[in-house]
Amino acid sequence: MTAELIDGKAAAASLRHAVGEAALTLPRKPGLAVVLVGDDPASQVYVGSKEKAAGKANIVGSVRRMPGSSTQEEVLSVVRELAADDHVDGILVQLPLPEGLDADEILSAIPAEKDVDGLTAPSAGALVLGQEGLTPCTPQGSMRLIKAVESDLSGKKAVVVGRSILVGKPLALMLLDANATVTIAHSRTKDLGAVCREADILCVAVGRPEMVTADMIKPGAIVIDVGINRIERDGTRKLVGDVEFDGAREVAGHITPVPGGVGPMTIACLLRNTVVASARRQGVPVPE
Ligand code: NDP
């Protein structure tokens, strides 16, 4: 059996298109502000692609670039200024922040209704309580890919490997909300292989190249590989996931490739959150 590929690139393109159309139906164009502190090269690239993607989706993107030497108070005052700006519907503080800055305090200055990254305590609380809010982008993107394959998760057994605030924990909550029976595995889990083999839906967000192998996968399972790892093999640099793809593909029913799986969904969901936030702030129904 060879698994069907879940094409995250195509799914993300179609979501971005839908978001762009939805943005045009709002009374005012949605606004997304990104705060970038310091000159971390990876962050520069991520922020650049977010700004570009926003523009293509009819969202007014802006980047507040601040020097790496900025103080806590300076970053806080920029976030507070954006919080008070009526034309800004979404605020994203690019992480990681330079050493010496307190990310928790800075994130908590983002009002919940503008928290398009879904990473503040009120957003996490809303997810736990099943209340209206904005959900983190990578798990939201993973859920969209799962739902594209299997719309009804009732009675399905889901295993999430990884319990980070960014991915594992919120993804587990979203799967639970969708009526899956959920197990969360992590570095202290005993016999990870046996736990994973139970899964109809196996989501892996660990950050260890090719850690999950074919023998850990239930035949026919949906495998969502969130990992992005840069490795060097045979003298060339390449990106691999947390799942050993070639082997897993022979066992799984559906699988996301790396790259081209969950990765592209993250920015698409950020744009979707911005349109949702904007519609709510403008007091109009959230477009489909
Ligand atoms: P973290 O490092 O924050 O969390 C990793 C999790 O994996 C922890 O819960 C840890 O357990 C668990 N873990 C580590 N080693 C093992 C092991 N041997 N067995 C079982 N569990 C283990 O990572 P993130 O959640 O932020 O990211 C995970 C991966 O997803 C990374 O590769 C990252 O690059 C990628 N990622 C991709 C995104 C995308 O857009 N596609 C976005 C965000 C992340 P414990 O808690 O016990 O330490």
pLDDT tens-digit readout, 76-106: 999 999 999 999 999 999 999 999 999 999 9
Does some domain include residue 121? no
Is residue 228 a known part of a binding site? yes
- Please give the Cα distance from 5 to 34 (Å, whole number): 33
| Residues known to be catalytic | 50, 94, 117
| 201 pLDDT higher than 80 | yes
pLDDT digits (tens, 9 = 90+) for 120-133: 999 999 999 999 99
208 lines ligand 1 (CB under 6 A): yes
Two tokens at 39?
């000159």
Same domain, 106 and 146: no
**Across the chain, what does the average pLDDT equal?**
97
pLDDT digits (tens, 9 = 90+) for 14-73: 999 999 999 999 999 999 999 999 999 999 999 999 999 999 999 999 999 999 999 999
Q: How many CB atoms lie within 10 A of CB 58?
A: 18
Name the residue at shortest CA distance from atom 6 of ligand 1.
162
Does some domain include residue 280? no
Same domain, 150 and 260: yes
pTM over 0.95: yes
Same domain, 238 and 155: yes
pLDDT digits (tens, 9 = 90+) for 137-160: 999 999 999 999 999 999 999 999
263 lines ligand 1 (CB under 6 A): yes
| 195 pLDDT higher than 90 | yes
162 lines ligand 1 (CB under 6 A): yes
Two tokens at 29?
């164009």
Does some domain include residue 20? no
Does some domain include residue 203? yes
Domain stop point among 57, 78, 112: 112
Query: Residues of the chain with pLDDT > 90: what percent?
Result: 99
- Please give the Cα distance from 244 to 225 (Å, whole number): 10
**pLDDT class for 2, splitting at 50, 70, 90?**
very high
Does some domain include residue 34? yes
Domain stop point among 74, 96, 112: 112
| 182 pLDDT higher than 80 | yes
Does some domain include residue 212? yes
Name the residue at shortest CA distance from atom 39 of ligand 1.
263
Name the residue at shortest CA distance from atom 30 of ligand 1.
227
- Please give the Cα distance from 52 to 66 (Å, whole number): 19
Please give the radius of gyration of the chain, using alpha carbons only, rounded to the nearest integer: 19
Does some domain include residue 106? yes
Is residue 162 a known part of a binding site? yes
| 224 pLDDT higher than 80 | yes
Residue with tokens 């890919």: 145
| 117 pLDDT higher than 90 | yes
Domain that holds residue 44: 26-112
Two tokens at 213?
């192998």
**pLDDT class for 288, splitting at 50, 70, 90?**
confident
- Ligand 1 centroid to residue 22 C-alpha, Å: 33
Tell me the CATH number at 90: 3.40.50.10860
Does some domain include residue 73? yes
Tell me the CATH number at 228: 3.40.50.720
Same domain, 193 and 90: no
Count the domains in the chain: 2
Name the residue at shortest CA distance from atom 13 of ligand 1.
187
Same domain, 256 and 154: yes
> Ligand 1 pocket check: which of 206, 231, 243, 266 to mutate, most ligand atoms within 8 Å of Cβ?
206
Same domain, 259 and 155: yes
Give the sign of the dihedral formed by CA 264, CA 201, CA 132, CA 164. negative
Same domain, 245 and 152: yes
| 243 pLDDT higher than 90 | yes
Closest by Cα among 12, 3, 31, 2 to 259: 12
CB 162 within 8 A of CB 181: no
Same domain, 155 and 246: yes
pLDDT score at 1 = 76
Same domain, 141 and 248: yes
CB 149 within 8 A of CB 5: no
Same domain, 259 and 142: yes
Same domain, 105 and 166: no
Same domain, 92 and 196: no
247 lines ligand 1 (CB under 6 A): no
